[in-house]
A and B are shown apart, each in its own frame.
Chain A
Amino acid sequence: MESKIAAVAMKNITKTFGSVVANEKVNLEINRGEILALLGENGSGKTTLMNMLSGIYYPDEGQIFINGKEEVIASPKDAYRLGIGMVHQHFKLIDVFTAAENITLGQKGKLNIKAATAKIKEICDKYGFDVDPNKKIYDMSVSEKQTVEIVKVLYRGADILILDEPTAVLTPQETEKLFHVMRNMKEDGKAIIIITHKMHEVEAISDRVAVLRKGQYIGDMMTKDTNATEMTNMMVGRTVSLNIKRNKPVDPKPRIKVENLTVKNEEGVVKLDNVSFTANSGEILGIAGISGCGQKELLEAIAGLQKTESGSVTFISDEKTTELLGLDPRKIADMGVTLSFVPEDRLGMGLVGNMDITNNMLLRSFRKGKTIFADRKAPRELAENIVEDLEVVTPGITTPVRRLSGGNVQKVLVGREISSAPTVLLTAYAVRGLDINSAYTIYDLINEQKEKGVAVIFVGEDLDVLLELSDRILVLCGGKVSGIVDGPTADKNQVGMMMTQIGGQNNG
């Protein structure tokens, strides 16, 4: 590198929200042609720090130097002027606009979509993006939307890019594509900061890692000189074991039997095709598959929330067997079948954003009790327990859930579902966007349930985790069962192949 001047240097940055210190005397540097991974637990101040760089927040103290010159970034406009662009975790796109309209939004001058389209094409060719400028956002997949966000930032001439958890909702293939583009941008001399919780991604993409803990800057190191355990220990501040325990299932008995289940969605597209499997008590059945392959429909069908075309779902308890299809969701829930589904927007299902933690607990229990008044004492205790056990960062249990950070919202949801003492626990993307420490807390909770004899169906995104946690893995491919493999002996490549092809054979 010809110059030693850092593209961005943040010095002694402090930011407080009321009495909460989000960042305290943070120092951070990033050079051109470098990918920096910013690590930290949920609520450690990563996003806040980056929001100060992109002009959404304004620091209370400290200085920001861009290319060696001290700058004041008071608004997103200032950030763009300095060539800083941020891709937010929640996309800032307008659904009914085309990609080109979104990309040119906020620019000055006469509206000329044709010229803009040409410039977008040029950017796409340069870095290897694949974007149709005339496609509407609502027709796009998550990964396409993200590409539009990145192109938007580049279109505005940014050479310092911030990506906030870009891979949280991407499939492994899409992630690889993104990394390819990021490497191209790095070659082009851009400075890139990526926030992610997935350690293998940090190792795959970044040149350097910087760690934040509870708002403080802990240190940085070259990625090639470190490993996942060391990075996690730095993040958490104590030694964490990165092994998921997997005890052998004790006395597994069939609990849920799904036979020839077929589900069509509203448009008549087959989402589940003749799916059959058995989930046993005291066992974790992992479900692997590229996102949108019928995982959601499967869980919802079992929970009674999804209309089915044909097939049966049988609940087998010690005394009798019950057909679940056609039963009222509430009846199914009363039998101990609980569903915790963490959607892409986290708040979409299961929690009410404007209600506090206690009231959200009440959503599950308000039918209990004999009087017309709801019992508030039990939910309050439960809320307190969840906050304490799962280390939910919140000013108190009376805070509306929507004010909590994403990871903390999730802990509340998963905590509530697990606490209802289920016999069958259906969980999807339980650790989506959670930091590694919280994720392991959730894994422990799930394991605890398994040991109590609960039949756990665990839909996951991270194949490594699925392989470590599950006793058996059901692989879905386009709504069909591609195969069921034994967890402890499964091979990652084999499962990956099965995700894209039925049975995993090339000639199949």
Chain B
Amino acid sequence: MIDLVTFIPRAVVQGIPLLYGCTGEILTEKSGNLNLGIPGVMYVGAISGVIGSFFYEQSCGGNVNGFLAVSIPMLCSLLGSLIMGLIYCFLTVTLRANQNVTGLAMTTFGVGFGNFFGGSLIKLSGSEVPSIALSATSSYFSKSLPFAGKLGVFGKLFLSYGFLAYLAIVIAIVCSYVIKKTRVGLHLRAVGESPNTADAAGINVIRYKYVSTCLGCMIAGLGGLYYVMDYACGVWSNDAFGDRGWLAIALVIFTIWRPNVGIFSSILFGGLYILYLYIPTGMDHMELKEIYKMIPYVVTLIVLILTSMRNKRENQPPASLGLGYFREER
């Protein structure tokens, strides 16, 4: 039987990068932009943080200041993903390029960008294995509350994570509240549903699309940062992030565009993602592991079928998702 007390924290740390990606993508999609570049953005967010942390560690020579160790990688990560968001917006909103093509190109670009600079840093550090370890800065990211260890099962389940994990949950709750309850959220949803209507009501469609997409990218980028700095203990190796970005996009559909639902479903997906490690298959049945790895995607397919069948209008994607907007077009 699976030991839940060890399994759940593992599922949570697996789920947090997904939660960042999912919240960011929901915010983006609510404005009608389908950003398939999220996997790339998360790569860029991760590598930007790694670059910042690498040069900080190099420059201070072991004397790491806790505040700087956290803020420099974070700022670098946010800046990296912001630039990705701006490129995406410029292409799709200003130049009205096709969103799917742009997004896929951004993903390919982001992964390549990450691997290129990752490779360069590995070379710079003169490391013998194909990875770099940034343990000094990473330890500040993964620091949990000092008394967490003393609280037994409760501490292990709820307090054993680094601050970025809690930030992810706070961001998801705030996003949920803003989208649902505030005027800004109402306007954002209006832009995603019908930019024509929003425009006629005096809402600045272009601004809403830019701001929400860029913010969404920055949030998603933090997911990459969390992965490398906390989950992977500061170890960057090329392609290690894998397909988590795509899983985050699948989560958006799974949560039917609700960031607060995303908190639980990302942990669920995190659990499903690593479930194969916990189900004993024996050495002769390695193929079963591969089947278990499919579970998150199968679940997404089932959810897609269920939400389409229920056919409730509120559960459908924003009506103008994936479409460009140009005021004078008939």
B194 on the A face (CB < 8 A): yes
Interface string of B287-329 (1 = CB under 8 A from A): 0000000000000000000000000011010010000000000
Query: Given A136-B313, A403-B330, are A92 and B187 also a contact pair (CB < 8 Å)?
Result: no
A111 on the B face (CB < 8 A): yes
Query: Given A93-B197, A94-B193, A106-B187, are A111 and B202 also a contact pair (CB < 8 Å)?
Result: no
Interface string of B191-204 (1 = CB under 8 A from A): 00110111111110
Question: Distance in Å from the Cβ of A430 to the closest Cβ of chain B?
Answer: 22
Contact of A106 among B194, B202, B316, B319 (CB under 8 A): B202
* A101, B193: Cβ atoms closer than 8 Å: no
Stretch with Cβ within 8 A of B (4 or more), from A61-69, A75-83, A286-294, A305-313: A75-83
* A111, B319: Cβ atoms closer than 8 Å: no
Which B175-214 residues have a C-beta within 8 angstroms of A? 181-183, 186-187, 189-190, 193-194, 196-203
The residues of A that contact B330 with a CB separation of less than 8 Å are: 402-403
The residues of B that contact A138 with a CB separation of less than 8 Å are: 313
- Complex CA distance for A104 and B185, rounded to whole angstroms: 13
A371 on the B face (CB < 8 A): no
* B194, A92: Cβ atoms closer than 8 Å: yes
Contact of B186 among A56, A88, A108, A111 (CB under 8 A): A111
* B314, A110: Cβ atoms closer than 8 Å: no
Instruction: Tally chain B residues at the interface, Cβ within 8 Å.
Output: 22
* B181, A105: Cβ atoms closer than 8 Å: no
Question: Distance in Å from the Cβ of A433 to the closest Cβ of chain B?
Answer: 15
* B201, A106: Cβ atoms closer than 8 Å: yes
A70 on the B face (CB < 8 A): no
A97 on the B face (CB < 8 A): yes
Interface string of A121-163 (1 = CB under 8 A from B): 0000000000000001010000000000000000000000000
* A106, B193: Cβ atoms closer than 8 Å: no
* A105, B186: Cβ atoms closer than 8 Å: yes
- Complex CA distance for A93 and B200, rounded to whole angstroms: 10
- Complex CA distance for A256 and B161, rounded to whole angstroms: 75
Query: Given A94-B190, A95-B193, are A111 and B200 also a contact pair (CB < 8 Å)?
Result: no
A107 on the B face (CB < 8 A): yes
* A106, B198: Cβ atoms closer than 8 Å: yes
Question: Distance in Å from the Cβ of A353 to the closest Cβ of chain B?
Answer: 9
The residues of B that contact A75 with a CB separation of less than 8 Å are: 202
* B187, A105: Cβ atoms closer than 8 Å: yes
Question: Distance in Å from the Cβ of B50 to the closest Cβ of chain A?
Answer: 41
- Complex CA distance for A12 and B269, rounded to whole angstroms: 65
- Complex CA distance for A381 and B219, rounded to whole angstroms: 57
Residue of chain A at shortest CB distance from B196: A92
The residues of A that contact B181 with a CB separation of less than 8 Å are: 111
- Complex CA distance for A403 and B329, rounded to whole angstroms: 8
Question: Distance in Å from the Cβ of A109 to the closest Cβ of chain B?
Answer: 7
- Complex CA distance for A110 and B182, rounded to whole angstroms: 7
A363 on the B face (CB < 8 A): no
Interface core residue of B181, B203, B330 (most chain A CB under 10 Å) = B330
Instruction: Name the prevailing secondary structure of the A interface residues.
Output: loop
* A105, B196: Cβ atoms closer than 8 Å: no
Interface core residue of B182, B183, B203 (most chain A CB under 10 Å) = B183
Query: Given A92-B196, A95-B319, are A76 and B182 also a contact pair (CB < 8 Å)?
Result: no
Question: Distance in Å from the Cβ of A53 to the closest Cβ of chain B?
Answer: 14
A96 on the B face (CB < 8 A): yes
Question: Distance in Å from the Cβ of A79 to the closest Cβ of chain B?
Answer: 9
The residues of B that contact A106 with a CB separation of less than 8 Å are: 187, 198, 201-203
- Complex CA distance for A138 and B313, rounded to whole angstroms: 8
* B202, A110: Cβ atoms closer than 8 Å: no
* B313, A111: Cβ atoms closer than 8 Å: no
* A105, B314: Cβ atoms closer than 8 Å: no
Query: Given A105-B187, A111-B182, A403-B330, are A76 and B202 also a contact pair (CB < 8 Å)?
Result: yes
Interface string of A97-121 (1 = CB under 8 A from B): 1000100111111110000000000
Question: Distance in Å from the Cβ of B199 to the closest Cβ of chain A?
Answer: 8
Interface core residue of B182, B313, B316, B319 (most chain A CB under 10 Å) = B313
Question: Distance in Å from the Cβ of A337 to the closest Cβ of chain B?
Answer: 32
- Complex CA distance for A97 and B197, rounded to whole angstroms: 12
Question: Distance in Å from the Cβ of A468 to the closest Cβ of chain B?
Answer: 34
Residue of chain B at shortest CB distance from A112: B183
* B197, A96: Cβ atoms closer than 8 Å: no
The residues of A that contact B190 with a CB separation of less than 8 Å are: 94, 97, 105
The residues of A that contact B183 with a CB separation of less than 8 Å are: 107-111
Residue of chain B at shortest CB distance from A103: B201
Question: Distance in Å from the Cβ of A471 to the closest Cβ of chain B?
Answer: 39
* B200, A92: Cβ atoms closer than 8 Å: yes
* B313, A80: Cβ atoms closer than 8 Å: no
Residue of chain B at shortest CB distance from A17: B328
The residues of B that contact A109 with a CB separation of less than 8 Å are: 183
- Complex CA distance for A402 and B196, rounded to whole angstroms: 16
- Complex CA distance for A110 and B330, rounded to whole angstroms: 33
Interface string of A311-350 (1 = CB under 8 A from B): 0000000000000000000000000000000000000000
Interface string of B145-185 (1 = CB under 8 A from A): 00000000000000000000000000000000000011100
- Complex CA distance for A219 and B207, rounded to whole angstroms: 43
Contact of B194 among A94, A136, A402, A403 (CB under 8 A): A94
- Complex CA distance for A403 and B186, rounded to whole angstroms: 31
A-B contact pairs, 21 of them (CB 8 A): A75-B202, A76-B199, A76-B201, A80-B202, A92-B197, A94-B190, A95-B319, A96-B314, A96-B319, A97-B186, A97-B189, A105-B186, A105-B197, A106-B187, A106-B201, A106-B202, A108-B183, A111-B183, A111-B186, A136-B313, A402-B330
Task: Name the 8 nearest CB pairs between A and B, nearest first.
Answer: A106-B201, A111-B183, A92-B197, A106-B202, A77-B202, A105-B201, A94-B193, A92-B200
Taking A80-B202, A106-B203, A111-B181 as known contacts, 13 extra A-B pairs with beta carbons closer than 8 A to each other, sorted by chain A number, are: A76-B199, A88-B200, A92-B194, A92-B201, A93-B194, A94-B193, A96-B319, A105-B203, A107-B183, A111-B182, A111-B183, A136-B313, A403-B330
Instruction: Please report A residues at the B interface, Cβ cutoff 8 Å.
Output: 56, 75-77, 80, 88, 92-97, 101, 104-111, 136, 138, 402-403
